[in-house]
Amino acid sequence: MKNAMAIETQSVRPERRTTRALALSALAGSLFLGACAKEQDINAFVDPTIPADQTYNEALANVDAGNYLQAKRKFKKLDRQHPYSAYAKKSGVMSTYLAYRQGNYGEAIAQGKRFVQLYPANKEASYALYLVGMSYYRQIADVTRDQRAARQAYRTMNEVVERYPDSIYVEDAKRKMRIARDQLAGEEMLVGRYYQERKEHLAAINRYRGVVEQFEDTRHVEEALARLTESYYALGLTSEAQTAAAVLGHNFPESKWYRDSYALLQQGGLRPLENKGSWLSRASRAITGA
């Protein structure tokens, strides 16, 4: 009986090996055919006999017609057919523009950065980098949310200004930088208020000081100086509180924030008085540009 079972087992195993071998062979064959088909598709897609200008003009016609998907395919086709041509470079910029126009900001950022890296001296490089900055700018969230996009927008637009100072995009890049800075200052103010409401005045002071020193040209400086007056006063640091109020009054004499700060000091029999040795006094010169 044991021998019969052994014989039966031995008779089954070759069949299993054969079936497995056939399956593996079929799988390998299908993968090979798939690879061949893919290669044929690529070869069919890439036809270097088609002039570069023809493909580029066809893509532009698609852009004008609003057929962005077809235009995108044409630009990719051009990049494969004539990778070293001037039209391939143009297609890189246009691909960045199309991705930005369609709201595919991640793709636009990748495309634009790639173009600038490959062709930093190209006359369209400033535009490609500007589109990268705009892609970040369009993603700036409300001040109550993370401001990573604002930081990236500021850095990229600053790069446009520094690397391509003669570019027609410089003035708008500067405007976008100011808006991004205002967002970043607003984020600091939000956190500062959070600490101040919980009477964590030292933590609040650090945030407000950051606004005054780093974002001196934003609309948040008035409130930051007033909040510094309040926080220093709450800690009993009257000299610093008086200096903060004096700097606020010097730079923004008609401000509501100054009136409130003045009234707060009066409650303690004090008045705004600048201590020339304070960091606030140095910051005041930066605010006025003196």
List, for residues 132-156, the tens digit of each pLDDT value: 999 999 999 998 999 999 999 999 9
Confidence at residue 76, expressed as pLDDT on a 0 to 100 scale: 84
Confidence at residue 47, expressed as pLDDT on a 0 to 100 scale: 56
> Using an 8 Å Cβ cutoff, are 255 and 222 in contact?
yes
| Count of positions (residues) in the chain | 290
Which distant-in-sequence residues (6+ apart) come within 8 Å of 217 by Cβ? 178, 181, 287
- Name the H helices within 198-255: 201-214, 221-234, 238-251
- Name the H helices within 102-220: 105-118, 125-137, 148-163, 170-197, 201-214
Confidence at residue 69, expressed as pLDDT on a 0 to 100 scale: 78
Among 142, 279, 267, CA closest to 205: 279
> Using an 8 Å Cβ cutoff, are 31 and 25 in contact?
no
Whose structure tokens read 């410089």? 170
Residues in the chain with pLDDT values less than 50 = 1-46, 290
Confidence at residue 77, expressed as pLDDT on a 0 to 100 scale: 80
Confidence at residue 130, expressed as pLDDT on a 0 to 100 scale: 98
Give the phi and the psi of residue 220 in degrees, each rounded to 5.
Answer: -90, -5
Cα three-residue angle 106-112-117, rounded to 5 degrees = 125
Among 101, 100, 98, 59, CA closest to 77: 59
Confidence at residue 41, expressed as pLDDT on a 0 to 100 scale: 43
Which distant-in-sequence residues (6+ apart) come within 8 Å of 151 by Cβ? 180, 184
The CATH number of the structural domain formed by 49-183 is: 1.25.40.10
N-terminal to C-terminal alpha carbon distance within the chain: 107
**185: which 2 tokens?**
């200052």
What's the CA gap between 182 and 153, in Å, rounded? 12
**74: which 2 tokens?**
């044409």
The domain segmentation of the chain, as residue ranges, is 49-183, 204-288
